């Protein structure tokens, strides 16, 4: 059996293997390597109690790096090291050095890293490794399906979303993304990550022109009507209107007033109404009744519908009175 085959047979990464793991220091084909122990200094404050296996693998890993060995056995060693600590940056960096030096099959490596990500989906280093492989291959064709499979397990996985956004932006694969997002929102309209993705897609494609704004207002309102206490939808609507005055949109004002008239007292509805009234006052379009309504809503939020943020709403109420109550008095004195 060739040395590389012997080394692979010993690998701890093969969970289905019946072959017991043999320490590297006991392997005949590694006798030429002097293991390099970790140097924690003469008096480590908190000495980590590494297992014998961990010390053995990483002592040899450090030795391989020191001698800059580019070999199949070194590549197998990185697999064992990653198996013990998949978050180790140096392991993945050196593995990439070896992949290039040995001219390895990168599609095979893609299959390997897929398995690792499925076992460790919230590990930054493994996602970064996959990104580099996609760049080297120049082939993003599997990435949207792969990230979708991870998001089916955890729809809010930050690393999966980040990777997906990178793929979309780098390779201009926007065509079906809004459909994908709408499917996620059909499954869970409170999925904040999906709402964020919808904004990301539009912001990077059509932009928020008037036609898109009107469409997205209606889209938001339809889902808000289904779940008025869904903060994500309200935040999305706020984002759509972020560069313009919310209060200028009659449809938005009427929508909020209609919900209020139906005795819906979602704190997000009431807070949104306060913001619109504050905009009116800042624009000089607010009458005394607008200030009165805004402060009444703040009072309702503080005492009944959002008491956990009572101090915040009390502050907003005081601020509105100080900023606009005086203006109203000055206007009255001038007349």
Which of residues 335 and 75 earns the better pLDDT score? 75
User: In b/e form, how buried is each residue of 149-176, taking b as 16+ CB within 10 angstroms?
Assistant: ebbeeebebebbbebbbbbbeeeeeeee
Asked if the structure places residue 260 within a domain, the reply is yes
- Cβ(114)–Cβ(146) under 8 Å? yes
The pLDDT value given to residue 244 = 85
Instruction: Print the domain residue range for 5.
Output: 1-104
Structural tokens at position 305: 């519908």
Domain-located, residue 125: no
Q: Kindly tell me the burial class for residue 138, based on how many C-beta atoms sit within 10 Å of its own C-beta (0-12, 13-18, 19 or more).
A: exposed
CA distance 35 to 268: 61
219 part of a folded domain: no
Q: What is the pLDDT of residue 335?
A: 46
pLDDT digits (tens, 9 = 90+) for 160-208: 999 999 999 999 999 999 999 999 999 999 999 999 999 999 999 999 9
Considering only residues 224 and 333, tell me which one the structure prediction assigns the higher pLDDT.
Answer: 224
pLDDT digits (tens, 9 = 90+) for 287-303: 889 999 999 999 999 99
Three-class SS of residue 266?
coil
Q: Does residue 133 form part of some domain?
A: no
Neighbour tally for 58: CB within 10 Å:
24
SS3 322: helix
When pLDDT is cut at 50, 70 and 90, the band that residue 248 belongs to is: confident
Which two tokens mark 248? 């200028």
Complete DSSP assignment for 206-248: T-S-HHHHHHHHHHHHHHHHH-TT-HHHHHHHHHHTTTS-GGG
For residue 24, tell me if it sits in a domain.
yes
**Under 8 Å between Cβ of 9 and 27:** no
Last residue of a domain, one of 104, 135, 157: 104
- What's the pLDDT tens digit per position in 36-73? 998 877 776 777 778 999 999 999 999 999 999 999 99
The CATH number for 93's domain is: 1.25.40
With b for 16 or more beta-carbon neighbours within 10 A and e for fewer, the 290-326 pattern comes to: bbebbbebbebbbeebbeeeeeebeebbeebeeebee
Q: Cα–Cα distance between 140 and 258 in angstroms, integer?
A: 46
What CA–CA distance (Å, rounded) separates 178 from 248? 27
156 three-class SS: coil
Q: Given pLDDT bands bounded at 50, 70 and 90, which one contains residue 18?
A: low
- Top pLDDT among 47 and 102 is at 102
Radius of gyration of the chain (CA): 29
- What's the full length of the chain, in residues? 335
> Which of 88, 104, 120 lies at the terminal end of a domain, its last residue?
104
Domain boundary, last residue among 59, 86, 104: 104
Whether 122 sits among the annotated catalytic residues: the reply is yes
User: In the chain, how many domains are there?
Assistant: 2
Query: Are the beta carbons of 117 and 130 closer than 8 angstroms?
Result: yes
Q: What is the pLDDT of residue 329?
A: 52
Annotated catalytic residue within 55, 79, 104, 122: 122
């Amino acid at each position: 059996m060739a040395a590389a085959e012997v080394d692979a047979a010993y690998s701890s990464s093969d969970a289905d293997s019946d072959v017991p793991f043999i320490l590297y220091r006991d392997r005949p084909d590694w006798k030429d390597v002097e293991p390099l122990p970790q140097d924690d200094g003469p008096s480590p404050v908190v000495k980590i109690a590494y297992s014998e296996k961990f010390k053995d693998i990483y002592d040899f890993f450090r030795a391989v790096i020191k001698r800059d060995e580019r070999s199949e056995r070194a590549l197998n060693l990185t697999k064992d090291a990653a198996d013990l600590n998949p978050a180790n940056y140096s392991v993945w960096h050196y593995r990439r050095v070896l992949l290039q030096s040995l001219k390895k099959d990168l599609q095979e490596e893609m299959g390997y890293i897929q398995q690792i990500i499925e076992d460790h989906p919230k590990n930054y280093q493994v996602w970064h490794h996959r990104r580099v492989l996609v760049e080297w291959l120049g082939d993003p064709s599997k990435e949207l399906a792969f990230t979708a499979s991870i998001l089916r397990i955890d729809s809010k996985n930050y690393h999966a979303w980040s990777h997906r956004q990178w793929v979309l932006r780098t390779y201009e694969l926007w065509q079906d993304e809004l459909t994908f997002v709408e499917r996620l929102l059909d499954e869970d309209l409170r999925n904040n990550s999906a709402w964020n993705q919808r904004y990301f897609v539009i912001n990077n494609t059509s932009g928020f022109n008037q036609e898109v704004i009107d469409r997205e207002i209606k889209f938001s309102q339809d889902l808000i009507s289904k779940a008025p206490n869904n903060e994500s939808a309200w935040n999305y609507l706020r984002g759509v209107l972020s560069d313009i005055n919310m209060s200028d949109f009659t449809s938005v004002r009427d929508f909020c007033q209609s919900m209020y008239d139906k005795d819906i007292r979602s704190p997000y509805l009431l807070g949104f109404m306060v913001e619109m009234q504050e905009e009116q006052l800042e624009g000089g379009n607010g009458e005394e009744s607008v200030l009165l309504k805004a402060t009444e809503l703040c009072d309702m939020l503080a005492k009944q519908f959002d008491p956990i943020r009572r101090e915040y709403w009390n502050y907003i109420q005081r601020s509105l009175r100080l900023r606009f109550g005086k203006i109203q008095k000055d206007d009255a004195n001038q007349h």
